[in-house]
Amino acid sequence: MNTTLSEALGNAAHRYSEQIALCHRDRDISYAALSSKPLQETNAQSSNTPIKLIPGTQSVEEYRLIWQCLSEGRPFLPLNPKFPPARISQIQQTIDHAEIPPDLAYLIFTSGTTGEPKGVPITQQQVFDYSKTLQAILQITSHDKVLQLGDLSFDISIMAMLMAWPQGAQLCTPPPEHTLMATRYTEDLAITVWLSVPSVVSLAAKADLLTPNSLPHIRLAIFGGEALPYDTLRQFSLAAPNARLFNFWGPTEGTISLSHFEIDRGVLQSEEAPPDLDIIPIGFAHPGVELALWNAELNDFSQSPGELCACSDQITRGYLNRPDLNETQFWMHQGKRWYRTGDLAKWHDQYGFCYLGRVDRQIKLKGYRIELQECETALRFASGCTQVAVIGFPKSTSGAIEGLLGFVESDPIEIINTALFLERMRTALPNYMVPDRLITVEHIPLNLHGKVDYLALEAKANLPYGL
C-alpha cells in the first residue's frame, strides 16, 4: 500500500512504463521517459531558494520538472508567462525573504484584494492525501485520458496531474491558445475525463462547438474554479451523454478542493432550472473535511446562510510571510483551527452547501445588502445568455456604491432589447437589485484562470461617477 506520493508515482512509472503519461502538443511522452529525465534548473530559477520555478510555458521539460518535483519531494512554484514583470518581482522578493517549510510540495500565489499576491504553501502530505481523496471519489484508471486545460499557475492543473499520474492515466494538454477548441480536441483524442472551469463550456457552446452527443467518450466531467450555472451544465450533459457530472469546490488554501457534488442527470431534463439549482450546488465535504457556516451576528456557526468556513488537515498552515493575513483568515474556535474561505453559502438538506457568491461581492445599496451573484442569475435567466455579469458602481467621488450595472455578452454585438431584460428581472427581483442599465459587450472579459474579470469590466464601463 502506497504511503507517499513519491511511491505512488514510482509504482506508476514502473507498472505503466511504456504507456503514454503525457499527450503533449509536441509529442507523446511515456511514463519511462517522463520519469527518467534528470531534474534541471530553469532560467527563472532563483539562487536563494530551493523552490523550482516553473515559468509556465507548458513545455515538455516543464512537465518533467513537475513530475520530478512531485516524485522526489522537491518544492516547485508554477508561474504564468503572462504575469507582468512587477508581479514576478513581488513573488520573487516574497520567496527570497521567507522561511520555506521543509516539507513543502508546491507554492501558488493567488490574487489579493490589495493587489499584493499571496503565497499559499501546500505540503507533500497534503498533496498525497488529496490525490487519495480524488481517487476515492472518481476512480481513475490507467485507461483514462485526463484533460488538462489552463495555465500551470492555476491549481486545477495540478489537480489534473494528481488525478492522472498516480493511476497510470494519460494527461492530455492542448496548446494553451486552443482552449476554445477544447471540445474539438476532446473529440479527436477520445478524452474520457473532462476537467475545466465552466467558462470553457460557455465559450464552446457560443461557438457552436458543443453539439448533442459530440463527446460520447467522456465518462467523468468535473467542473470547478467558479460558479457552475445550470444551463451550462445542461448543455454539456447533452454533448456528453455518458458522463458522470461533478461540481468541485474549494480554495487554493484548502489544497485545490474541499467539497464535491455529483449531479443527478434526472434534474437536467428541464430547460428551466429547478428550485435551488440555478447555480449547481457545491455539495458535501470531502472525507476528512469539516465545513460550517459562520454567522457574524451570533459570532458562532449556525444553519443560516453565512460565510463558508473550513476545518481540515488539507488547509494550508498559513500564507507565506503574511502574519497579518494569517491572523484574520485563520482562527481557533472551540479547539479547532478554521479558515475563512470568503465564499457565501446556505445549507440544503438534499444538495448540501449551495454557493451564494463571494463576501467581497456582497454590496450594500440603498440600505439593502445585495449578493451580486443573485442579480447575475436573474439576468442570465432574463436574457437567455449564459455569459453575464453585474457590478456595483459609484456615482460620487466618495466611492460609495450607488447603482448596479449589468453586462450581457453578444458576439457579434447586436442590438438587443435590454429594456425587456430589465423588465423580466423586475418580476424576479426587488427593484433595488435590478441594474440601472445593461451594456452589451462582445466578450465578457476573463482573467488568466478563465474566471470573470470584474476589474476589467469596471474599466470597460468607464463610468466612475454615474451613468
139: alpha, beta or left? (left if phi > 0; alpha if psi -120 to 50): left
Q: What is the pLDDT of residue 40?
A: 54
pLDDT one-digit tens code per residue, 342-388:
999 999 999 999 998 888 787 777 667 687 988 998 899 999 888 89
Task: Select the more confidently predicted residue: 400 or 165.
Answer: 165
- Among 30-39, 182-191, 210-219, 243-252, which is the least confidently predicted range? 30-39
Which range in 11-20, 150-159, 271-280 is most confidently predicted, on average pLDDT? 11-20
Give Dmax (Cα) for the chain.
66
Q: What is the pLDDT of residue 81?
A: 87
Q: At 49, list the grid cell.
A: 531558494
- On whether the CB atoms of residues 120 and 83 are closer than 8 A, the answer is no
Residues in the chain: 467
Residue 122: closest CA among 114, 113, 134, 130: 130
96-112 average pLDDT score: 89
The pTM score is: 0.83
- Among 15-19, 392-396, 440-444, which is the least confidently predicted range? 392-396
What is the share, in percent, of the chain residues with pLDDT greater than 70? 91
Which range in 40-44, 71-75, 293-297 is most confidently predicted, on average pLDDT? 71-75
Q: 120 CB contacts (<8 Å, ≥6 apart)?
A: 107, 108, 109, 110, 252, 253, 316, 319, 320
pLDDT one-digit tens code per residue, 207-248:
899 999 999 999 999 999 888 999 999 999 999 999 999 999
Segment (H or E) for 78: strand 76-78
Binning pLDDT at 50, 70 and 90, where does residue 43 land?
Answer: very low
Rounded Cα distance, 274 and 286, in Å: 25
pLDDT one-digit tens code per residue, 309-340:
999 999 999 999 999 999 999 999 999 999 99
Coil, strand or helix at 210: coil
Amino acid occupying residue 199: S
Binning pLDDT at 50, 70 and 90, where does residue 39 land?
Answer: low
Q: At 208, list the grid cell.
A: 457552436
Residue 199: closest CA among 222, 226, 172: 226
Residue 105: closest CA among 125, 132, 81, 84: 125
Half-sphere exposure at residue 351, Cβ-oriented, CA atoms within 13 angstroms? 21
- Among 219-228, 353-362, 408-417, 439-448, which is the least confidently predicted range? 408-417
334: alpha, beta or left? (left if phi > 0; alpha if psi -120 to 50): left
Sign of CA dihedral 266, 276, 159, 205: positive
Coil, strand or helix at 360: helix
What residues pair up with 307 in beta bridges, in sequence order? 294, 344
pLDDT of 36 > 80? The answer is yes
What residues pair up with 178 in beta bridges, in sequence order? none
Q: 194 CB contacts (<8 Å, ≥6 apart)?
A: 147, 186, 215, 218, 220, 221, 222, 240, 243
Q: What are the chain's domains?
A: 5-268 (3.40.50.12780), 366-461 (3.30.300.30)
- On whether the CB atoms of residues 162 and 8 are closer than 8 A, the answer is no
Binning pLDDT at 50, 70 and 90, where does residue 428 land?
Answer: confident
pLDDT of 6 > 90? The answer is yes
> If you average pLDDT over every residue of the chain, what do you get?
89
Q: What is the pLDDT of residue 157?
A: 95
Q: What is the pLDDT of residue 466?
A: 34
Q: What is the pLDDT of residue 181?
A: 87
Q: What is the pLDDT of residue 418?
A: 84
Binning pLDDT at 50, 70 and 90, where does residue 44 land?
Answer: very low
Sign of CA dihedral 112, 113, 114, 115: positive
Coil, strand or helix at 421: helix
32-40 average pLDDT score: 78
**Whole-Å CA distances, 449 to 29, 85, 154, 199, 412:** 26, 18, 6, 10, 24
pLDDT of 47 > 50? The answer is no
Coil, strand or helix at 319: coil
Binning pLDDT at 50, 70 and 90, where does residue 465 land?
Answer: very low
What is the share, in percent, of the chain residues with pLDDT greater than 90? 64
Residue 56: closest CA among 220, 173, 167: 173
428-457 average pLDDT score: 86
pLDDT of 398 > 50? The answer is no
Does the bond joining 412 to the residue before it have cis omega, within 30 degrees of 0? yes
